Amino acid sequence: MWSFPYSAAGVLRATTQSVSRDRFLLLCATGLGLTVATWMWWRKRDVELQQVGVVSQLLIYPVKSCRGVLVQEAECVELGLKSGELKDRHWLVVTEEGSMVTGRQEPRIVLISATVVGEYLCLSAAEMPEILVPLVLPKANAVRNCRVFGKDIQGRDCGEEVSDWLTSYFQSSNSYRLVHFEPEVMQPRKSKEVETLFRDKDVIAYPDASPIMLLSETSLEELNRRMDEPVSLANFRPCIVVSNCEAFAEDSWDEVKLGTTRLKRVMACGRCVLTTVNPNTGVITRKEPLDTLRTFRKSDPSLSHIYKTSPLFGQYYGVEQNGGLKVGDPVYRVIRGR
């Protein structure tokens, strides 16, 4: 007769215990999953998205101080907006010594159009032939040490032909050159070194201080309501323009979501003499719209060490989350719970 080491009752008891342990582990796992899900649900409830406007325009300025290019959609990366090979302020006009040249020094630079045609950057201006500059420059071209607001940054020289073109356009006895920032091999500037309110992770190529400047149409309308001669968005060179909001509402949007992009507001944009260059004539007045802005957009006295006497118009943002955005996207203000 066969004998069994365990009785039938013992086998049943062991089987029951095994099932109970399995059920216990399953219940533990389920409970942990519910706890995580609940935590994530509460966390989501802790963030509220409030629509505050709509993206009405997106602009990329390939060459610093030259005309902007309207695009219908763009990527937002650490260095700002890009659309294909169009990248915001990745080209810069400099002197032979490497100092930046903007509308402050050469007001007629604002009349130069810069677009991407195939594998070339195309520059055009009145009474000048179009000139094509390769997007990928020969490695034999010199890398120049340049200065943007006293901060060092590199740029690869775009060659003699475009140098002659720029020098001829400005009718200058000085020689001007075009350089290109190559993010793969060059170090960007840190916004924090320009304005201390920026974060360590905020970086730029050739913009003044910020990868993104946002402005609302209604803010411009309120300014023009106070002026004898209206000005345009081109005077202020925003990257993102927002409609369907109150004037200067952007002053309070500490964090915004546009498409799959999130931006973090850092500070207001203190306006300089560049805004007084007429974008249609290239004539600088050094007066309007600055004089009118100073009547109602001065900074709080406690912030005078940051803005000095500059009036505030538009907001500087750092890139919180890379993503895409397009004209027509809702603009959401991100409200975080406490």
pLDDT digits (tens, 9 = 90+) for 252-289: 999 999 999 999 999 999 999 999 999 999 999 999 99
Is this structure's pTM higher than 0.75? Answer: yes
Host domain of residue 248: 49-336
**Alpha-carbon span 277 to 289, nearest angstrom:** 10
Asked if the structure places residue 3 within a domain, the reply is: no
Vertex 234, ends 229 and 235: CA angle to 5°? 55
Asked if the structure places residue 262 within a domain, the reply is: yes
Indicate the DSSP class of residue 150: T
**Alpha-carbon span 52 to 268, nearest angstrom:** 18
Distance of CA 6 to the CA centre of its chain: 74
SS3 70: strand
Binned at pLDDT 50, 70 and 90, residue 35 comes out as very low
**Alpha-carbon span 252 to 165, nearest angstrom:** 44
Scan for tokens 């039938």, then name that residue: 8
Q: Calculate what percentage of the chain has a pLDDT beyond 90.
A: 85
Count of structural domains within the chain: 1
Torsion angle defined by CA atoms of residues 150, 290, 251 and 151, in that order, rounded to the nearest 10 degrees? 0
Asked if the structure places residue 190 within a domain, the reply is: yes
The CATH number of residue 163's host domain is 2.40.33.20
Instruction: State the pLDDT at residue 23.
Output: 53
Mean pLDDT of all residues in 184-206: 97
Instruction: State the pLDDT at residue 185.
Output: 96
**Alpha-carbon span 261 to 73, nearest angstrom:** 12
- Note whether 236 and 215 are within 8 A (CB): yes
Asked if the structure places residue 163 within a domain, the reply is: yes
Asked if the structure places residue 57 within a domain, the reply is: yes
SS3 23: helix
Could you tell me the CA-to-CA distances from 14 to 20, 222, 245 in Å, in that order?
Answer: 10, 81, 70
For residue 15, pLDDT beyond 60? no
For residue 6, pLDDT beyond 70? no
Instruction: State the pLDDT at residue 337.
Output: 80
Asked if the structure places residue 44 within a domain, the reply is: no
Q: Residue 6 is encoded by which pair of tokens?
A: 């365990």
SS3 215: strand
Amino acid at 34: L
Q: Residue 109 is encoded by which pair of tokens?
A: 């630079």
For residue 31, pLDDT beyond 60? no
130 φ, ψ (degrees, to nearest 5): -65, 150
For residue 293, pLDDT beyond 50? yes
Q: Which H or E element spans position 334?
A: strand 330-336
Min mean pLDDT across 23-32, 175-184, 203-212 is at 23-32
Output the CA torsion sign for 248, 253, 254, 258: negative
* Cis bond upstream, residue 289 (ω within 30): yes
**Alpha-carbon span 58 to 240, nearest angstrom:** 5
**Alpha-carbon span 160 to 178, nearest angstrom:** 9
Asked if the structure places residue 329 within a domain, the reply is: yes
Binned at pLDDT 50, 70 and 90, residue 45 comes out as low
Instruction: State the pLDDT at residue 5.
Output: 42
Asked if the structure places residue 206 within a domain, the reply is: yes
